[in-house]
Every structure is written in C-alpha cells, then in structure tokens.
Amino acid sequence: MKNTIQAKLHNTITISYGNILFWGIGLLCFIPGITSPVALITGILLAFLKLTPSTAKVSQLSSRLLGYSIIGLGFGINLQQAIEVSANGIGLIICSISTTLILGTVITRLLHMDHKTGHLIASGTAICGGSAIAAVAPSIRAKGEQTSIALGVVFLLNAVALFLFPVIGHALGMSQTQFGTWCAIAIHDTSSVVGAASVYGDQALKLATTLKLSRALWIIPVAFISSLAFRSNEKKLRIPWFIGFYCLVIVVVYLLPQPQQLYSSIFFMSKRLLIFCLFLIGANLSLEKIKATGLSPLILGITLWVTIATGTLLYIML
C-alpha cells in the first residue's frame, strides 16, 4: 500500500514538472526573436521526446487560440490600401489562388494523399502560408497532425524562398517592381516576403508588402469555400466563428483609425499568439504520424510552389 502511494506521488510530481517545462518553453514563443518555424519545430521535438503533457488538452486549446489570433491579425490590415493594390493586381491574385487550389486538389488525388492535408498545403501556398493554414484548418475540421504536416511543408519551402528568390532576381536582372510583385505572389509567409524584398530594395519592399497584405484578405473567402467543400453529409453549414469577427475588426479599424498604437499592439500580440499556437500544434505531432504520411505532402508542396513561382515569373517577365 505504501509503495503504491509513493508510486502515485512520484508520477504526480513527474507530471507536474513535465507540465512546467512544457508550458515554460511554450511561453518563450511570445519573445520577438522566436519565429514560426522555430516554434513549430520546438513543439515537434517535445512531442518526439514524449514531453507533451498527457493531461493537457493541447489540441482543443490550440484550436480556440487560433481563432483569437486570426481575429487579432485583422487589426493589421489596412482595408483601403489592400483594396487599392488588389484592384491593380486582382487578375494575377485570383488566377494564382484559384490555380493553386485546383492544382492542389488534382495532385492530392493523384498522390492518394489525405484530402484535408492536401487542401491545407494548397491553401498555405495560395494565400499566406501559416496564417492561411491556421484559418482554414478549423473550417474543414482538420486534425492536429494534418495541420502540423501542412505547416511543416510550407515553412520549409518558405525558408528556402527567403534565400533563393533574391539570387534568382539578380540573376535575371529583375526590376524592383517585378521582383516585389513576384515575391508577393510566389512566397508563402509575409515574413519571408518582407525579408526577401528588403534585400532587393526599398521599392520592392513597399510593393511586396502591400500586395501581400491584399492577398491576406482572401483568407476569408477561401475559408468559407473550404467549409462548403468539406461539409460532407452535414446539412447545416458550419462557418468558423472567428471569420465574422475578423471581418468586423477590419471594418472597425477602417472606420476608427485613431487609436493606431493600440491596433499595432494588438496586431503584434496576435502574431505572437499565432506562433504559440504553432508550438501547440507541433506538440501534437508524433513520429508515427509523420511516417504514416510519407513523402507525399512534401512532393505536393514543392510541385505547387515551383508551378506558381515559375508561372508568375513568366507572366511578369514576358
């Protein structure tokens, strides 16, 4: 009896220390120097080391916090500026997004991949990387491992683009305008778009940033269409609760632009919260789940990325 009590007490203390370690590392995601890929990889490493608390409802928490982070990101969208830039490049934006999503569906079926994982990768490639995946995942009721795999693929290619695009741009003698447009359409996450464009020049940076933000507005229609496409046999359409609030926030910021410092602070904290969510999502992934998925997600991600990047480049240069 005494040994049993001691064993239970030991397990309780072990779990407690494990929880403190896990959540302590997670809170580091709110430090500005921690990037999205670092947070995701850290979560995955903790999962591999069996340090994810079994008592913590990590999946449910990440889903709820993702909604809050997406709403907060709306405070960083300049509606008027985004609409103006979208009006100039609306054809290219719609063509690139629709082509990516359609091609993603076709390749997913050819590779006999999980349809939700494939759709998340296509959505991240089409719009704005991790933010798009985070917004679309609840719309299609994606599981934690499906979201983690999609994020991993997109972040990997996103990191490659950050270094590769400026090299290609200089080799082809692209102008500031050409490179800025190419970056905004063909690179996944806003952070890498800004990073690559800033290396190329100030004009490229301004154009790329504005055009990229206009693409971010397409998260809402894509999330809505995704909820329709993956409705299955349900008669009632379920729209993610955060979509309406995201749209409302953008309108409020447009109508009441005065407390800009407050909006900037909320936007900053929302980006950090999103990174924390990516940490939680990574912590739900296991080696067994990755092995079961295989190389198909990476093949899909590379194919979509190369196709869109090449097609956009030809359109801009010709």
Judge contact between 231 and 237, C-beta under 8 A: yes
The answer to whether residue 17 scores a pLDDT higher than 60 is yes
Q: Which domain holds residue 296?
A: 2-317
pLDDT higher for 20 or 97? 97
DSSP secondary structure letter of residue 52 = S
The pLDDT value given to residue 148: 82
The pLDDT value given to residue 88: 67
pLDDT class of 159 with cuts at 50, 70, 90: confident
The answer to whether residue 10 scores a pLDDT higher than 60 is no
Name residue 252's amino acid: V
Domains identified in the chain, total number: 1
Average pLDDT, the chain: 80
The answer to whether residue 164 scores a pLDDT higher than 60 is yes
The pLDDT value given to residue 286: 66
Closest CA to 150 of 161, 142, 140, 162: 142
The pLDDT value given to residue 12: 47
b/e map of 165-188 (b: 16 or more CB within 10 Å)? bbeebeeeebebebbbbbbbbbbb
Q: What is the pLDDT of residues 35-59, one digit of tens each?
A: 777 887 888 888 888 777 765 567 6
Q: Which position has the token pair 């500031």?
A: 176
d(CA 175, CA 158) in angstroms, rounded, equals 22
| Mean pLDDT computed over 246-267 | 87
d(CA 147, CA 220) in angstroms, rounded, equals 18
Task: Write phi, then psi, for 234 (nearest 5 degrees).
Answer: -70, 135
pLDDT higher for 216 or 56? 216
CA distances from 204 to 2, 90, 138, 221 (A): 71, 18, 34, 27
The pLDDT value given to residue 120: 94
